[in-house]
């Protein structure tokens, strides 16, 4: 069972039972997190081919991106069965005996399959309460060999969530007034990169002393998240942390740093973090879409021309951005901040 992870150190590293946060910013000092009125996007209206309803959803998407950088997606077309199968496959992986999965432990940050504890334990004073398995699934598809169902399930799940994310991205770029040609030139979505991450946050005896994952933004364009029944995600909204209670069978979507770059700062990546629970194991499955690793994303030229705005960001190869983010301590928007002009 995954709940045994805290005791067994099943992902390869033991958590200290007398956990003391080595990073003072890890301590949960402000837990007064309100429940937010998070925008809800009905995906079926974006993809049903009726221009009027699509235009309405594009407007709603634009508003959600401008106001929150975060929204819930319902009627997304990914079946309950597929979601459950993906959840089971990750749990099956974490439940493997150490010798069946430890080959993925402690690999280099850009390796196609990497398992670990915390975020990047080589640069942290104290671990965050999280085990993860991170897999690059597009343009090249990778999968652990065990459990045997993992390959088929993850290929299917990656394909469906990639379609969902790309359609949402097109809607979002549409809301900025970018035409299809400019979108293609800017982001080359056919060769987009996609990672699939399974996060397991075992019950923590002192949830006030650490985070599952601390405040950060994601590097890519768009992140699509599903979770088990245990909430814990918080997002920053107008300077305050908001607790996210996920609707059943929904996806939670957040904008990443490269959306902030391509939109020249109009749609900001959202800071988020995950709390741990002292009773329940939380599982989240994240799939993040970015440009291809060779692409250098810059603010869209038509946005600069239209508003006569100077570019707010320099470009950098996406692969270099991700490598830098994964090799550093996870701290808010520190990597994106380097690119501000
Ligand atoms: O588990 C969560 O809710 C958030 C995970 C996350 O932010 C990430 O993997 O980047
Ligand atoms: Fe994240």
Query: pLDDT of 97-116, one tens digit each?
Result: 999 999 998 778 789 999 98
pLDDT for position 49: 83
Kind of pairing between the strands at 240-243 and 233-237: antiparallel
User: Closest residue (by CA) to atom 8 of ligand 1?
Assistant: 286
* Angstrom distances, CA of residue 31 to CA of 68, 120, 230, 280: 20, 25, 17, 18
Q: Output the pTM of the full model.
A: 0.91
Q: Is 281 helix (H, G, I), strand (E, B) or coil?
A: coil
The model's confidence at residue 47, banded by pLDDT at 50, 70 and 90, is confident
pLDDT tens for each residue of 206-238: 888 888 888 899 999 999 999 999 999 999 999
User: Which of 86-91's residues contact partners 24+ apart within 8 Å by CB, and which partners?
Assistant: 86/153, 86/154, 86/157, 86/226, 86/285, 87/226, 87/228, 87/283, 87/285, 88/149, 88/153, 89/147, 89/149, 89/150, 89/153, 89/154, 90/133, 90/198, 90/200, 90/283, 90/285, 91/2, 91/283
Task: Indicate which atom in ligand 1 lies nearest the CA of residue 282.
Answer: 1
Determine if ligand 1 sits within 6 Å of the CB of residue 131: no
pLDDT at 16: 56
Q: Which atom of ligand 1 is nearest to the CA of 223?
A: 10
Which one of the ligands is nearest to 270 CA? 2
Q: Which of the pair, 76 or 12, is modelled with greater confidence?
A: 76
User: Which percentage of the chain shows pLDDT scores above 90?
Assistant: 67
pLDDT at 284 over 90: yes
Contact at 8 Å (CB) between 116 and 11?
A: yes
195 lines ligand 1 (CB under 6 A): no
CATH topology of domain 36-337: Jelly Rolls (2.60.120)
Report which bound ligand comes closest to the CA of 281. Answer: 1
Query: Cα of 159 to ligand 1 centre, how many Å?
Result: 20
Q: Which two tokens stand for residue 143?
A: 């999968």
Q: What is the pLDDT of residues 20-33, one digit of tens each?
A: 555 555 555 555 56
Residue 189 has pLDDT above 50, yes or no: yes
> Could you tell me the residue ranges of all domains in the chain?
36-337
Confidence of residue 1 (pLDDT cuts 50, 70, 90): very low
- Over 70: is that where the pLDDT of 267 sits? yes
The pLDDT value recorded for residue 208 is 82
Q: What is the pLDDT of residue 121?
A: 67
Ligand 1 proximity of 286 Cβ (cutoff 6 Å)? yes
pLDDT for position 237: 94
Report which ligand 1 atom has the smallest distance to the Cα of 288.
10
Please tell me the distance between residue 284's alpha carbon and the centre of ligand 1 in angstroms. 7
Atom number, ligand 1, closest to the C-alpha of residue 244: 3
Ligand nearest to the CA of 285: 1
Q: What is the ipTM for the molecules in this complex?
A: 0.99
For range 131-144, the mean pLDDT: 96
Whether the pLDDT of residue 67 is over 60: the answer is: yes
Per the listing, tokens 């190869």 go with 317
Predicted local confidence at residue 15, as pLDDT: 54
């Amino acid at each position: 069972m995954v709940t045994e992870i805290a005791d067994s150190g099943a992902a390869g590293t033991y958590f200290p039972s007398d956990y003391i946060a080595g990073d003072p910013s890890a301590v949960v000092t402000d837990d007064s997190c309100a429940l937010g009125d998070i925008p809800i996007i009905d995906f079926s209206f974006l993809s049903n081919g009726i221009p009027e309803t699509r235009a309405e959803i594009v407007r709603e998407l634009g508003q959600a991106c401008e106001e929150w950088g975060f929204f819930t997606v319902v009627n997304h077309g990914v079946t309950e069965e597929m979601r459950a199968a993906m959840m089971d496959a990750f749990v099956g992986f974490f439940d493997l005996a150490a010798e069946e999965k430890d080959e993925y432990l402690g690999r280099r940050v850009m390796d196609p399959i990497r398992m670990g504890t915390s975020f990047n334990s080589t640069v942290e004073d104290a671990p965050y309460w999280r085990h993860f398995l991170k897999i690059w699934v597009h343009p090249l598809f990778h999968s652990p060999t065990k459990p045997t169902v993992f390959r088929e399930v993850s290929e299917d799940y990656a394909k469906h969530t990639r379609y969902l994310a790309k359609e949402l991205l097109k809607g979002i770029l549409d809301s900025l007034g970018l035409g299809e040609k400019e979108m293609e030139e800017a982001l080359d979505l056919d060769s987009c990169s996609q990672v699939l991450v399974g996060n397991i946050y075992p019950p923590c005896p002192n949830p006030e002393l650490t985070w599952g994952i601390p405040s950060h933004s994601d590097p890519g364009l768009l992140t699509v998240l599903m979770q088990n029944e245990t909430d814990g995600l918080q997002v920053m909204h107008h300077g305050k942390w908001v607790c996210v209670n996920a609707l059943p069978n929904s996806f939670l979507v957040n904008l990443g740093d490269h959306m902030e770059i391509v939109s020249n700062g109009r749609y900001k990546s959202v800071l988020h973090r995950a709390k741990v629970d002292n009773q329940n194991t939380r599982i989240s499955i994240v799939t993040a879409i970015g440009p291809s690793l060779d692409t250098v994303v810059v603010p869209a030229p038509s946005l600069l021309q239209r508003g006569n705005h100077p570019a707010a960001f320099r470009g950098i190869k996406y692969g270099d951005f991700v490598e830098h983010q994964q090799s550093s301590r996870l701290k808010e928007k520190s990597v994106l901040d380097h690119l501000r002009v």
